[in-house]
Amino acid sequence: MKKPILLSALLLAFMFASAQHGHEHHQHAPQKKKAQPAPSKKAPADTAKKKASPKKPLIDTTHKHQHHMADHQMTHSYSLGLPMNRNGSGTSWLPDNTPIYAYMRHGKKGWGYMFHGNIFLRYTMQNFNNSYRRGGQEFDVPNWFMGMGQKRVGQNGLFSFTAMLSLDAMTVGEAGYPLLFQSGETWRGQPLIDRQHPHDLFTNLSVGYTQRINEDMDATIYLGYPGEPALGPPTFMHRISSISNPDAPLGHHWQDASHITFGVGTLGLRYKWLKAEGSIFTGREPDENRYDFERPLMDSYSYRLSANLSDALSVQVSQGFLHEPEALHPGTDVTRSSASLAHSVRLNENDHLNSALAWGFNDAGHGHEEHSLLAESGLGLGKNLLYARYEFVQKSAEELGLEEALGHRAVSNIHAFTLGASRKLWNAFATDLWLGAQLTMNAAPGELVPYYGDMPLSGQVYLRVSPQLLR
């Protein structure tokens, strides 16, 4: 059992230092409205009348949140005509109402910077109601950190870069953390089962350039090593609906596992509220060495269509053709299909409701077809955050290490329902400290009861450190 207290303290100190450096830059007081002179008595009455506003279309193509690269403002990473709130992971989109927990800083020569991240200091206990069954307990520190920068190039160009790191391999362990019914990737040549793999030290190092064609259209090129192809929804770490949940989804390798890809190139074209993208990338998932850079093979491809139908709603459909993604299954290609929506409502300056619905489907050929579904919501009410997640995923006997017992072609339907809550305990240097807890109830078919017990329950308590909400 690991207790990485010293390393956790260093992580906290790093976040506080970043917060102090950017504290004066990310909060901007609203400008006072200038007093308007009274209309002249001599002026005709009809000159004081305002013109009637045109009727707002169903889909707002002019966009009321449109920002341009001013000295004190950042835009979307891949468009001069979109708000930064739309940034998802990679080049994916979130709703424009999405709240942002981050530090911002505005540097010299037109550069703008943003930093955000999450640190969980937690104790997790899986399947605590079924002794001598599968499960596990552990003290660990899941975490991630992301920095972004952007600079306008001429009148219509935008250059951006992203660097994202995770110290999971050090603070969680190279075998990952216990998570019931989770599967995917390997440790010491063996499949990880009932454990979530740690993320690589370098999870994203990418650059992008966008050329604005006109106010409604722009084109983007994105290069990552590692990076994220145009496939699936925004990854779980960047969905505001799951910001307080330390666990990866059970359907991670059905929906958004390609967010760490060693070698990816994406071309995207946006027209108003619609964006089409295509990627070429390395299909193989990262290996067991969490600190290296792997050979870019560029042997897979994907496409994605995204649409922000309103400020509150973003949807995407995508499909990827992955060449030999699993190290233990050489010669097996996977077609991954995905559809998702994200919804975000700002209730007031401090309160917000954010939800996501995602479907993922893996087809490995020869009848190996498996679905997954995720629905999650997070409600922020001042100092309190309430959240819930429902998951359905189909996993083969081989995924669960039960091929000999259940048969090669057996597939089990697994359900998981999580409820959680956290409360802000402290705020300093634009950084929040939260205390939280969550409980997960699993339901699985009868053939899994001998291995997992009846209705397994898992729980955890944690302290979460993150930047405060930008206003």
Secondary structure, 3-state, the chain: CCCCHHHHHHHHHHHHHHHHHHCCCCCCCCCCCCCCCCCCCCCCHHHHCCCCCCCCCCCCCCCCCCCCCCCCCCEECCEEEEEHHHECCCCCECCCCCCCECEEEECHHHEEEEEEEEEEEEEEEECCCCCCCCCEEEEECCEEEEEEEEEEECCCEEEEEEEEECCHHHHCCCCCEEEEEEEEEEECCEEEEEEECCCCCEEEEEEEEEEEEECCEEEEEEEECCECCCCCCCCHHHCHHHCCCCCCCCCHHHHCHHHCECCEEEEEEEECCEEEEEEEECCCCCCCCCCCCCCCCCCEEEEEEEEEEECCEEEEEEEEEECCCCCCCCCCCEEEEEEEEEEEEECCCCCEEEEEEEEEEEECCCCCEEEEEEEEEEEEECCEEEEEEEEEEEEECCCCCCHHHHCCCCEEEEEEEEEEEEEEEEEECCEEEEEEEEEEEEECCHHHHHHHCCCCEEEEEEEEEEECECC
Lowest mean pLDDT among 60-69, 244-253, 444-453: 60-69
pLDDT in tens, 444-471: 899 999 999 999 999 999 999 999 999 7
How would residue 373 be classed by pLDDT, with cut points 50, 70 and 90? very high
Average pLDDT score over residue span 417-429: 97
Is 44 among the domain residues? no
pLDDT at res. 191: 95
Is 222 among the domain residues? yes
Lowest mean pLDDT among 58-72, 157-171, 346-360, 432-446: 58-72
Residue 60 has pLDDT above 80, yes or no: no
Mean pLDDT rounded to a whole number for the chain = 88
Residue 383 has pLDDT above 70, yes or no: yes
pLDDT at res. 428: 96
Residue 400 has pLDDT above 50, yes or no: yes
Is 163 among the domain residues? yes
Average pLDDT score over residue span 133-162: 97
Average pLDDT score over residue span 120-126: 98
Q: Which residue has the higher pLDDT, 42 or 178?
A: 178
Whichever domain contains 221, its CATH number is 2.40.160.10
Is 344 among the domain residues? yes
Is 99 among the domain residues? yes
pLDDT at res. 30: 40
pLDDT at res. 27: 41
pLDDT at res. 145: 97
Residue 307 has pLDDT above 70, yes or no: yes
Residue 194 has pLDDT above 90, yes or no: yes
Residue 46 has pLDDT above 50, yes or no: no
Percent of the chain topping pLDDT 70: 85
Percent of the chain topping pLDDT 90: 80
How would residue 282 be classed by pLDDT, with cut points 50, 70 and 90? very high
Residue 336 has pLDDT above 70, yes or no: yes
How would residue 40 be classed by pLDDT, with cut points 50, 70 and 90? very low
pLDDT in tens, 168-190: 999 999 999 999 999 999 999 99
User: What's the domain count of the chain?
Assistant: 1
Average pLDDT score over residue span 222-238: 97
Is 53 among the domain residues? no
Is 34 among the domain residues? no
Average pLDDT score over residue span 141-159: 97
Domain of 273? 5-20+64-467
Is 363 among the domain residues? yes
